[in-house]
C-alpha cells in the first residue's frame, strides 16, 4: 500500500524584515533538513535584530555619557594647543600646568587631569577671569611639578611615577594583566594553526567569530557601564567645586581673598558662608584688611578644613588640620570659628537618635579609633524590634554603637568594642569579655558625656534565639551589657516580646560628673527617664577603623601608610601611583581606594591623609 501523498511544503519564510538582504532559503524537500535550516535562519535573524537594538541602545548610552560631561559645563574634546599651559588660580596662587603631560596614558584619566582638560570652563572665575580651584595650593604646586616630570620623562622615552610614598610592591594586578596577554597570544597561535586546515571548520570559524564578538560586546558594554558610573561619581565629587547656575556662577562662587604676611589666600563665598557669617573666618575675608596675626600656612589649613567640611559627601568624617606646632594650629583653627574636632557629615535631619553631625563626631572621638567610620546596621523602627532580626542585622560585625531614645528628652547608649556574638546552641547564652563604655547625648547630662566603666563591667551576654539571659537565676532578657547596666528585651520574667522593653542603670560612683538625672533609693542613676522603659527608637551602628570608598579612577592605585612624613610636600599618608609615561604604559589598577576626608580638599583629585 502506498503512503498518502503529502502536499509539497513551501520554502520556509524568512523573518519579515525589509532590511533583510538575503533571498529566501531554497526548499530541500527533507523535513528535518528544512526545519534545521529554518531554525538556524531564524536564529541569525534574531541575532541581527538584537544587534540592531543593541546598537540603538549603544547610541543612547553614548548620548547619556556625553550629557553627563556637558551638563556641568564639561567639554568632550580637549580645547587649547598642547604646547600651551593651563593657567589656574589655586587657593590664591596662580599656577601654570603644562597641558601635554595631562594627556599621557595613566595621567589623562586621573581625576585632576580630567577636571583640568574637560571642566576648566566650569570652575568659578577670579577677578582676572582665570579659572579658580578651591583647593590647597601647596599640594597642587607639588602635583604640578610631578606632572611636569612625567612629561619630561616621556619626551626622553623614560617612565616616571608620581608617588607620595614608595610603590606598592605587592600589587598583583600586573600579574593578571600578563596572564591575559599570554592567553591572547596563545589564542592567536591556535588560530594560525587552524588556518592551515582544509577549510572543513569554516562553519566553526564563523561560530567562533560570533562567540568572540559576543564576548567582546559583553566586555565593552560592561566597561561602558563602569565609565558611566565613574562619571557619575566624578560629577558627584567635583560638583561642589564647579560654578553654580549652569556654570554661569552665583553668589557662592564669588572669590574672596586676603593678604597674610605678603601672601594671598583665597577661597569661595560658599566655603566661608558654610562656617557662619558671624565667625572670624568669614569677617576676615570680607574686611579687605591684611592679616598678620596668623601664619599663612595655618590660615590655609583652616580654610582647607572649612572647605572639606563643605564638600564632604554624606557619611564621611572630616578631620581637623595638623601641623608641627599642634597647640598653635588648634588655637588658630578655633580662633577663626571652627571647632578643632572631627566633623561628621550625614546624620543631621535624618531622623536618627544621634541628631547632629557634631554629636556623631563626638561619639566617634569617644571610641578612640583611628579614622573611625560609622555605618548604620540596625534601626528598630525600620527593621522591627524582633530579637532574631536584630541578630541578623549585626551578624559578623564588630565595634557596635548602641543609640537609644526614651521620649523626646533622653538619648543615650553604649559602645561595645567587639561583636554581639550569640551561642551556637540557640537555647543557651554566650557570655564574653568586651570593652564597653556608656554615653549620654541629652537628658541625663547637659552635653554629650562619656561614662567610663571599671574593668569588671566589661562583659556582654547574648542569648540564643530561643534562650534567655538570667540574673540571680531569674530569666530577664535577650541581651545584657556591662553585667546588667543595659538590658534589651527586659521583663520579669523575661525575655519580653521584643527588644524595645529595656532596663538601664549605673552605680552612682561610676557616673561621670555633671549627672542631673533621676536616682533611686540607693543613689544609683539612669541615662533614661526611668530605669525601666520602652525605647522609642533603637539604633546599632558599626564603627570601623580606616574606612574606604571605591571610586572609579583608571590607572590609579592608592594605599594607606602610617608614616605621614614619607609623603613629601603633600604631607599625605597614602600611596598614590598616578602616572606612567608612554615608555611603560601598563594599567596599574581599574579602581582606587580613597579614604574619606582625612586630608586636604584635593583628596578628590588624588590626596587623602594629613593636612
Domain range summary for the chain, segments of one domain joined by +? 1-70, 80-188+238-372+547-611, 375-544
pLDDT at res. 84: 84
Rounded (5°) CA angle 278-284-288: 130
Cell, residue 609: 591623609
Cell, residue 295: 601664619
Residue 551 φ/ψ, nearest 5 degrees: -125, 135
In angstroms, the CA 56 to CA 62 distance is 10
Q: What is the pLDDT of residues 86-124, one digit of tens each?
A: 899 988 889 888 888 888 877 777 778 888 888 888 888
Beta carbons of 409 and 529 less than 8 angstroms apart: yes
Task: State how beta strands 436-442 and 429-433 pair.
Answer: unpaired
pLDDT at res. 421: 94
pLDDT at res. 355: 87
Burial class (CB in 10 A: 0-12, 13-18, 19+), 602: buried
pLDDT along the chain (611 residues), means of 10: 46 48 80 83 84 86 81 73 85 87 78 82 88 84 82 81 46 27 35 45 70 80 79 76 64 86 90 88 91 91 89 77 92 92 72 86 88 88 94 95 96 96 95 97 95 96 95 94 97 93 95 93 93 96 62 30 32 31 30 31 33 31
Residues in the chain: 611
| 3-state SS class at 171 | coil
DSSP output for 53-92: HHHHHHHHHHHHHHHHHHTTT--SSPPS-TTSEEEEEETT
pLDDT at res. 218: 79
pLDDT at res. 35: 85
Beta carbons of 495 and 475 less than 8 angstroms apart: yes
Helices 31-70 and 202-238 pack at an angle, to 10 degrees, of 20
In angstroms, the CA 117 to CA 453 distance is 56
pLDDT at res. 570: 32
pLDDT at res. 430: 97
H/E stretch holding 364 reads: helix 357-367
- pTM as predicted: 0.55
In angstroms, the CA 69 to CA 63 distance is 10
pLDDT at res. 565: 30
Amino acid at each position: 500500500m502506498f503512503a498518502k501523498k503529502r502536499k509539497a511544503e513551501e520554502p520556509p519564510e524568512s523573518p519579515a524584515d525589509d532590511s533583510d538582504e538575503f533571498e529566501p532559503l531554497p526548499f530541500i524537500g527533507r523535513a528535518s533538513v528544512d526545519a534545521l535550516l529554518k531554525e538556524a535562519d531564524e536564529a541569525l535573524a534574531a541575532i541581527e535584530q538584537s544587534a540592531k537594538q543593541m546598537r540603538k541602545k549603544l547610541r543612547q548610552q553614548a548620548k547619556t555619557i556625553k550629557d553627563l560631561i556637558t551638563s556641568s559645563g564639561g567639554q568632550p574634546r580637549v580645547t587649547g594647543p598642547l604646547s600651551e599651559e593651563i593657567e589656574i588660580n589655586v587657593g590664591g596662587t596662580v599656577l601654570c600646568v603644562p597641558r601635554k603631560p595631562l594627556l599621557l596614558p595613566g595621567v589623562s584619566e586621573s581625576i585632576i587631569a580630567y577636571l583640568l582638560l574637560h571642566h576648566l570652563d566650569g570652575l568659578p572665575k577670579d577677578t582676572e577671569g582665570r579659572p579658580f580651584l578651591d583647593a590647597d595650593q601647596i599640594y597642587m604646586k607639588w602635583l604640578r611639578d610631578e606632572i611636569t616630570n612625567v612629561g619630561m620623562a616621556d619626551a626622553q622615552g623614560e617612565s616616571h611615577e608620581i608617588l607620595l610614598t614608595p610603590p606598592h610592591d605587592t600589587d598583583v594586578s600586573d600579574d593578571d594583566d600578563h596572564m591575559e596577554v599570554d592567553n591572547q597570544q596563545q589564542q592567536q597561535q591556535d588560530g594560525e594553526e587552524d588556518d592551515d586546515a582544509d577549510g572543513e571548520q569554516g562553519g566553526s570559524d564563523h561560530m567562533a567569530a560570533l562567540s568572540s564578538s559576543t564576548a567582546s560586546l559583553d566586555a565593552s558594554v560592561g566597561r561602558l557601564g563602569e565609565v558611566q558610573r565613574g562619571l557619575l561619581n566624578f560629577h558627584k565629587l567635583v560638583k561642589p567645586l564647579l560654578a553654580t547656575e549652569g556654570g554661569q556662577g552665583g553668589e557662592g562662587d564669588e572669590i574672596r581673598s586676603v593678604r597674610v604676611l605678603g601672601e594671598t589666600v583665597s577661597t569661595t563665598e560658599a566655603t566661608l558662608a558654610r562656617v557662619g557669617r558671624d565667625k572670624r573666618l568669614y569677617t576676615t575675608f570680607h574686611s579687605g584688611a591684611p592679616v598678620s596675626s596668623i601664619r599663612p600656612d595655618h590660615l590655609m589649613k583652616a580654610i582647607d578644613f572649612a572647605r572639606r567640611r563643605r564638600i564632604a559627601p554624606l557619611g564621611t568624617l572630616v578631620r581637623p588640620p595638623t601641623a608641627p606646632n599642634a597647640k598653635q594650629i588648634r588655637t588658630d583653627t578655633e580662633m577663626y570659628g571652627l571647632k578643632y574636632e572631627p566633623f561628621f557629615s550625614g546624620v543631621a535631619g535624618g531622623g536618627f537618635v544621634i541628631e547632629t553631625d557634631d554629636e556623631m563626631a563626638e561619639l566617634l572621638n569617644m571610641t578612640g579609633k583611628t579614622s573611625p567610620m560609622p555605618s548604620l546596621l540596625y534601626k528598630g523602627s525600620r527593621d522591627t524590634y524582633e530579637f532574631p532580626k536584630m541578630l541578623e542585622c549585626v551578624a559578623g560585625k564588630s565595634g557596635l554603637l548602641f543609640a537609644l531614645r526614651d521620649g523626646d528628652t533622653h538619648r543615650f547608649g553604649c559602645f561595645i568594642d567587639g561583636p554581639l556574638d550569640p551561642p551556637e546552641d540557640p537555647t543557651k547564652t554566650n557570655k564574653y569579655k568586651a570593652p564597653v563604655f556608656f554615653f549620654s547625648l541629652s537628658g541625663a547630662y547637659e552635653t554629650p558625656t562619656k561614662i567610663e566603666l571599671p574593668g569588671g563591667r566589661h562583659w556582654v551576654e547574648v542569648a540564643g534565639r530561643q534562650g534567655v539571659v538570667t540574673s540571680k537565676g531569674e530569666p530577664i532578657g535577650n541581651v545584657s551589657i556591662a553585667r546588667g547596666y543595659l538590658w534589651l528585651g527586659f521583663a520579669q520574667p523575661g525575655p519580653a516580646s521584643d527588644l524595645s522593653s529595656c532596663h538601664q542603670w549605673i552605680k552612682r560612683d561610676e557616673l561621670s560628673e555633671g549627672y542631673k538625672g533621676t536616682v533611686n533609693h540607693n543613689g544609683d542613676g539612669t541615662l533614661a527617664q526611668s530605669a525601666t522603659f520602652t525605647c522609642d527608637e533603637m539604633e546599632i551602628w558599626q564603627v570601623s577603623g580606616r574606612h574606604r570608598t571605591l571610586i572609579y579612577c583608571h590607572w590609579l592605585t592608592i594605599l594607606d601608610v602610617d608614616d605621614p612624613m614619607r609623603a613629601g610636600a603633600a604631607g599625605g599618608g597614602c600611596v598614590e601611583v598616578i602616572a606612567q609615561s608612554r615608555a611603560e604604559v601598563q594599567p596599574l589598577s581599574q579602581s582606587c581606594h580613597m579614604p574619606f576626608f582625612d586630608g586636604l580638599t584635593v583628596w578628590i583629585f588624588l590626596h587623602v591623609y594629613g593636612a
